[in-house]
A and B are shown apart, each in its own frame.
Chain A
């Protein structure tokens, strides 16, 4: 960053600081004057919501850590003590536990938004990739956090997930022993998960900073997916979007608060209120809802593929389901960003959303359960179908649609009336004067 060529902002102390460390002019430039497309819809609220959730998770987490004991003998009771004896402990813990759920709700909406409006396309590929990195770190953080209360689901979830690595040929078992620090999930495991659970949110914070820096280089995408052509297409971030973001955030927090105060265990698993019992597996092990689609993909590969055993195949498919998100910018060959102008992709997008819900549903049910009496249709069959479609969508459909789909005509600019015929084309050339 070059120094000195920017006029310091404010006066008095603010100016004194800004001349020496240009934080205020940075804020002014990147968060106040920052030009954003004027046509954002409510789906553009989720960035602000996610930032808020991250800060809230870190705050409640640090306060919980002051009372929590990362030791197998004490962990469960220390969480119960937080719930019963610590002032407001129940609220802080319910905020943290439900916060993870709402964090994931927000991040999934944020990502589906990106998929619908083509926000991952040139020049925002790296921005998208950083987002997927954040998702992966969030998953690791939430997984390790869920182990901390040391209930039955904590213990068995940790056992099943760490055992996934044993599927890796040759070195798998050594990796699992290394993760555990012993011969099973035990005290060393709990200890290191706590250390890492404390660390990872700060890594996430770092990647979020990079994510936002990348955003401020390329600028935001918008519901039409066409670049702003000039000042008539944008508004300054403050006060327009600071206000809109605040309004959306208030609604989101209201819903969040409803669950914290009136249904705090709605997303939870009663089994996790039983202390971990290493010799006694609960009848149904289910992960938290936000992992269910991936869990379903893991379990759907219950057959060997060539020389790859079912167990390894499931693990590859599950990690593949996340990995494929990294390469979406190169799988989707269509030059048009917004699904608004992609008549075929638009349908497949919604089918894909349904597919993800179907995977989530499958992930929460025992594979051999019948879906319909009469028909011999089992949950696992739907799992196969939904898993197939997940990969088919990304690997086959996206590239093919880019070639065969005929997009609708794009508006010449954000301000130009959509599909306004001749006048739209005319006004595009007269861009500096245009106001619509």
Chain B
């Protein structure tokens, strides 16, 4: 076998080798491309993506109250912050933060903080939405799973989570209606 493939006309690296290699390369690339639809079919489907905005009426929410709404299967925390909470968030020096971000950038309208209520460590839902739940050392949220503390701007302050609670894409349709997504 090796005799006639390699030294057919007296030197190796013949045209036949080239054909073998290029056929092999095309087959592997083609195989990989053919596999892609199988893998991609496991990504979110059109109907799942279609459910990706919600509108919330927040007229009933009082100062100091927090509510939870569901968006894309995840809890979204809406916090109508008190003056004290806002001041605390805005006065925090960026140097104290693990994931530095100003409160101004996170809460366009200071009274309303909207964050995704999924701990950036391993995805538990932090506590603090009702007054009876612990809110952690910075008065925001506390994740019971592995002890992450978030401040009144939803920024990570202590514990294993690496990042702040993310702010979802949002738009204030008017003073009482928020569109998330």
Number of A-B contacts (CB under 8 A): 81
**Which A residues contact B (CB, under 8 angstroms)?**
156, 159-160, 162-164, 177-186, 188, 192, 278-281, 283-285, 299, 302, 309-311, 314, 367-368
Besides A183-B48, A188-B45, 11 more A-B contacts (Cβ < 8 Å) are A156-B124, A159-B122, A160-B123, A182-B72, A183-B72, A184-B72, A192-B42, A279-B75, A280-B125, A284-B144, A314-B160
Output the nearest chain A residue to B126 by Cβ-Cβ distance.
Answer: A281
Q: How far is the CB of B145 from chain A (nearest CB, A)?
A: 6
Q: How far is the CB of B171 from chain A (nearest CB, A)?
A: 19
Q: Are A183 and B74 in contact (CB under 8 A)?
A: yes
* Measured CA separation A281–B75 after assembly (Å): 11
Q: Are B122 and A163 in contact (CB under 8 A)?
A: yes
* Measured CA separation A139–B6 after assembly (Å): 47
Q: Are A281 and B125 in contact (CB under 8 A)?
A: yes
Binary flags per residue of B69-84, CB closer than 8 Å to A gives 1, else 0? 0101111000000000
Q: How far is the CB of A224 from chain B (nearest CB, A)?
A: 46
Q: Are B162 and A160 in contact (CB under 8 A)?
A: no
Residue contacts A-B, CB under 8 angstroms, 17 given: A159-B124, A160-B145, A177-B44, A178-B43, A181-B42, A181-B44, A183-B74, A184-B74, A185-B73, A186-B73, A278-B75, A281-B125, A281-B127, A302-B160, A311-B161, A367-B146, A368-B147
Chain A residues with CB under 8 Å of B68's CB are: 279
Q: Are B75 and A188 in contact (CB under 8 A)?
A: no
State whether the Cβ of B121 lies closer than 8 Å to any Cβ in chain A: yes
Q: How far is the CB of B26 from chain A (nearest CB, A)?
A: 26
* Measured CA separation A188–B51 after assembly (Å): 14
Output the nearest chain B residue to A298 by Cβ-Cβ distance.
Answer: B122
Chain A residues with CB under 8 Å of B160's CB are: 302, 310-311, 314
Q: Are A279 and B44 in contact (CB under 8 A)?
A: no
**Which B residues contact A (CB, under 8 angstroms)?**
39, 42-45, 48, 52, 68, 70, 72-75, 117-118, 121-125, 127, 144-147, 160-162
Q: Which 3 A-B pairs have the closest CB atoms?
A: A184-B73, A183-B72, A163-B123
Q: Are A311 and B121 in contact (CB under 8 A)?
A: yes
Q: How far is the CB of A135 from chain B (nearest CB, A)?
A: 23
Chain B residues with CB under 8 Å of A299's CB are: 146
Chain A residues with CB under 8 Å of B45's CB are: 181, 188
* Measured CA separation A182–B73 after assembly (Å): 8
Chain A residues with CB under 8 Å of B42's CB are: 178-179, 181, 188, 192
Given the known inter-chain contacts A177-B44, A178-B43, A311-B160, please indicate yes or no for A281 contacting B144, CB distance below 8 A: yes
* Measured CA separation A283–B144 after assembly (Å): 6
Q: Are A367 and B147 in contact (CB under 8 A)?
A: yes
Q: How far is the CB of B135 from chain A (nearest CB, A)?
A: 15
Q: Are B124 and A182 in contact (CB under 8 A)?
A: no
Output the nearest chain A residue to B74 by Cβ-Cβ distance.
Answer: A184
Chain A residues with CB under 8 Å of B162's CB are: 309-311
Q: How far is the CB of B56 from chain A (nearest CB, A)?
A: 15
Q: How far is the CB of A395 from chain B (nearest CB, A)?
A: 25
Chain B residues with CB under 8 Å of A184's CB are: 72-74, 118
Chain A residues with CB under 8 Å of B75's CB are: 278-279
Output the nearest chain B residue to A158 by Cβ-Cβ distance.
Answer: B123
Output the nearest chain A residue to B143 by Cβ-Cβ distance.
Answer: A281
Q: How far is the CB of B121 from chain A (nearest CB, A)?
A: 6
Chain A residues with CB under 8 Å of B72's CB are: 182-184
Q: Are B74 and A285 in contact (CB under 8 A)?
A: no
Chain A residues with CB under 8 Å of B125's CB are: 279-281
Q: How far is the CB of A376 from chain B (nearest CB, A)?
A: 16
Output the nearest chain A residue to B41 by Cβ-Cβ distance.
Answer: A181
Output the nearest chain A residue to B73 by Cβ-Cβ distance.
Answer: A184
